[in-house]
């Protein structure tokens, strides 16, 4: 009998084994090749914001953000466990995702580590929303979420966030990250 065939006395299946397959030997050249491949994957640039346990606004730049499902609306975010914001991403905690536009290049770097966590909100047009959530007013879109699940994998946590509200900005002029640099999409016409 395999683990997937096992059923407990209460009729429930055991939780899925989520042991990372990374326990297998990795060829030494694979991490570098993987990084080179990922430099070719274009990703929108976002800023994630929340409040820490002391109520202080915190945020970071992120490109590992994607839609997970439309029913219920949810996002998937991958956050390095070494990031200063990581400890504040707990189940039930509000988190906002601000999708950056072409004019936010400098803000991307400020929240990416150019400024200390305490200095980050001095840049950009930030206001406060429900639960004192920092909101980037000029974002292409703001998604207000609640952390619903966390899964550790390698150096990161996979964060599932249920979307509670959405605010849509003006024109679509995304800021993207590709080949280690930020760029804009110039051939998109509305």
In tens, the pLDDT along 94-145 reads 999 999 999 999 999 999 998 888 899 999 999 998 778 899 999 999 999 9
On whether residue 134 sits in a domain, the answer given is: yes
Name the β-bridge partners of 160.
76, 149
Beta strands in 31-93 (DSSP E): 43-44, 46-51, 57-62, 65-70, 73-80
The verdict on residue 148 lying in a domain is yes
52 within some domain? yes
**Which of these, 181, 150, 60, 57, lies nearest to 111 by C-alpha position?**
60
Is 180 among the domain residues?
Answer: no
User: Which are the contacts of 104, defined by CB distance < 8 A and separation ≥ 6?
Assistant: 45, 124, 136, 138, 139, 175
Q: Is the pLDDT of residue 16 over 50?
A: yes
Q: For residue 16, is it within any domain?
A: no
pTM of the model: 0.83
Distances (CA, A) of 18 to 21, 23, 80, 94: 9, 12, 18, 26
- Indicate the number of domains in the chain: 1
Name the residue range of residue 51's domain.
43-170
Residue 137 located in a structural domain: yes
Q: Flag whether 11 is in a domain.
A: no
CATH number of the domain bearing residue 118: 2.30.110.10
Residue whose C-alpha is closest to residue 143's, from 72, 41, 39: 72
Label residue 18 by pLDDT band (50, 70, 90): low
Which of 9-13, 48-52, 111-115 has the least mean pLDDT?
A: 9-13
Q: Residue 129's pLDDT is what?
A: 84
Of the candidates 50, 49, 82, 47, the one whose C-alpha atom is nearest the C-alpha of residue 64 is: 47
Query: Does the pLDDT value for residue 2 go beyond 90?
Result: no
Is residue 8 assigned to a domain?
A: no
pLDDT exceeds cutoff 50 at 7: no
């Amino acid at each position: 009998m395999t683990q997937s065939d096992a059923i407990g006395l209460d009729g429930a299946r055991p939780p899925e084994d989520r042991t990372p397959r990374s326990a297998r030997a990795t060829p030494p050249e694979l991490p570098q090749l993987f990084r080179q491949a990922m430099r070719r994957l274009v990703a929108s640039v976002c800023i994630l914001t929340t409040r820490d346990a002391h109520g202080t606004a915190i945020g970071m730049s992120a490109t590992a953000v994607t839609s997970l499902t439309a029913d219920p609306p949810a996002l998937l975010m991958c956050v390095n466990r070494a990031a200063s914001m990581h400890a504040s991403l707990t189940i039930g905690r509000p988190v906002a995702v601000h999708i950056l536009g072409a004019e936010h290049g400098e803000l991307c770097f400020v929240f990416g580590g150019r400024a200390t966590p305490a200095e980050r909100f001095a840049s950009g047009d930030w206001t406060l929303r429900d639960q004192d959530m920092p909101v980037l007013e000029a974002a292409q879109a703001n998604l207000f979420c609640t952390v619903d699940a966390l899964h550790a994998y390698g150096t990161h946590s996979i964060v599932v966030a249920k979307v509670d509200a959405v605010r849509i900005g003006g024109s679509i002029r995304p800021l993207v990250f590709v080949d280690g640099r930020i760029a804009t999409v110039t051939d998109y016409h509305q």
